[in-house]
């Protein structure tokens, strides 16, 4: 078994890799964690992590700029159902379109748009930057054993855009930021977190451990 973290010039790959390695160790899994820009390595991996920070269009262009990468991801995740974790803009890329700056097509793996967060309270700052709790809509193996809800653990968010206009069964968790902010999505063998599990201490590490053990 192996985990591929997709390197397309975006994101804090180092933290994601170290968090996966640490949780593989803690869960007693013998899983090499590979940071790779090679589509064939992504195709061969048993699990795939797609990080991403920055603007949607830049990340999409970066991913499209690696020859064969989008095809390899689509084949592995949509074709062969490899467990997939998208983080922050890596999650946003799963959507149909991004509306940040110009309209940009996403991977289209889940319906919906990536649109600006619009808190009802104008005193709330954008970006949504900091720690928030998760309101979970249903059970999911990657959340097993993690306390959620208003009294649960916190996740670390840094973003101004989020998934909207999607199907109800796609949203796995929301955060309250003067508006309902999409915090996690899940469909088939895919999960996505708008927050950074690799920066979310206890909650994030537990989630990554669960993802490594997830057998959808």
Q: Which residues are catalytic?
A: 88, 196, 198
Which residue from 35, 37, 53, 61 is in contact with other proteins, where contact means CB under 8 A? Answer: 53
Q: Does 205 bind other proteins (CB under 8 A)?
A: yes
Which residue from 6, 72, 87, 153 is in contact with other proteins, where contact means CB under 8 A? Answer: 153
Q: Does 92 bind other proteins (CB under 8 A)?
A: no
Distance CA 144, CA 216 (A): 14
Q: Does 103 bind other proteins (CB under 8 A)?
A: no
Q: Does 201 bind other proteins (CB under 8 A)?
A: yes
Q: Does 148 bind other proteins (CB under 8 A)?
A: no
Residues contacting 158, CB < 8 A, separation 6+ = 53, 88, 127, 128, 129, 196
Distance CA 47, CA 24 (A): 12
As given in the structure block, the two tokens for residue 73 are 């991801």
Window contacting other proteins (CB under 8 A); options: 15-23, 43-51, 60-68, 109-117: 15-23
Of the two residues 54 and 111, which places its CB atom closer to other proteins in the complex? 54
Which residue from 35, 141, 199, 214 is in contact with other proteins, where contact means CB under 8 A? Answer: 199
- Residue 189 CB, shortest distance to other proteins, in Å, is 25
The residue to which tokens 């933290």 are assigned: 15
Q: Does 210 bind other proteins (CB under 8 A)?
A: no
Question: What is the C-alpha R_g of the chain?
Answer: 16
Of the two residues 80 and 121, which places its CB atom closer to other proteins in the complex? 121
Q: Does 129 bind other proteins (CB under 8 A)?
A: yes
Which residue from 130, 138, 144, 188 is in contact with other proteins, where contact means CB under 8 A? Answer: 130
Q: What is the DSSP string of 184-211?
A: EEEETTEEEESS-GGGSHHHHHHHHHHH
| Spatial contact of 11 and 51, defined as CB atoms under 8 Å apart | yes
Helix axes 13-26, 201-213, angle to 10 degrees: 70
Which 3 state secondary structure label does DSSP give 27? coil
| Spatial contact of 62 and 31, defined as CB atoms under 8 Å apart | no
Residues contacting 168, CB < 8 A, separation 6+ = none
Q: Does 156 bind other proteins (CB under 8 A)?
A: yes
- Residue 188 CB, shortest distance to other proteins, in Å, is 28
Q: Which residues bind other proteins (CB under 8 A)?
A: 12, 14-15, 18-19, 22, 53-55, 58, 124-133, 150, 153-154, 156, 158-160, 175-177, 196, 198-205
């Amino acid at each position: 078994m192996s985990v591929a973290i997709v390197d397309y010039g975006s994101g804090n790959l180092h933290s994601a890799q170290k968090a996966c390695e640490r949780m593989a160790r803690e869960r007693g899994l013998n899983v090499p964690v590979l940071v790779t820009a090679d589509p064939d390595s992504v195709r061969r991996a048993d699990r795939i992590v797609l990080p991403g920070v920055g603007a949607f269009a830049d990340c999409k262009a970066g991913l499209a700029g690696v020859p064969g990468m989008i095809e390899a991801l689509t084949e592995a995740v949509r074709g062969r159902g490899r467990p997939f974790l998208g983080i922050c803009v890596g999650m946003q890329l799963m959507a149909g379109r991004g509306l940040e700056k110009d309209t940009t097509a996403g991977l289209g793996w889940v319906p919906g748009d990536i649109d600006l967060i619009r808190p009802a309270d104008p005193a709330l700052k954008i970006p949504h930057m900091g720690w928030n709790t998760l309101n979970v809509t249903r059970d999911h193996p990657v959340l097993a054993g993690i306390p959620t809800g208003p009294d649960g653990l916190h996740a670390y968010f840094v973003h101004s855009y989020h998934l909207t206009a999607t199907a109800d069964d796609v949203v796995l968790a929301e955060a309250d930021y003067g508006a309902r902010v999409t915090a996690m999505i899940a469909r088939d063998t895919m999960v996505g977190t708008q927050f950074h599990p690799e920066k979310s201490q206890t909650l994030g590490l537990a989630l990554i451990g669960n993802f490594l053990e997830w057998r959808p």
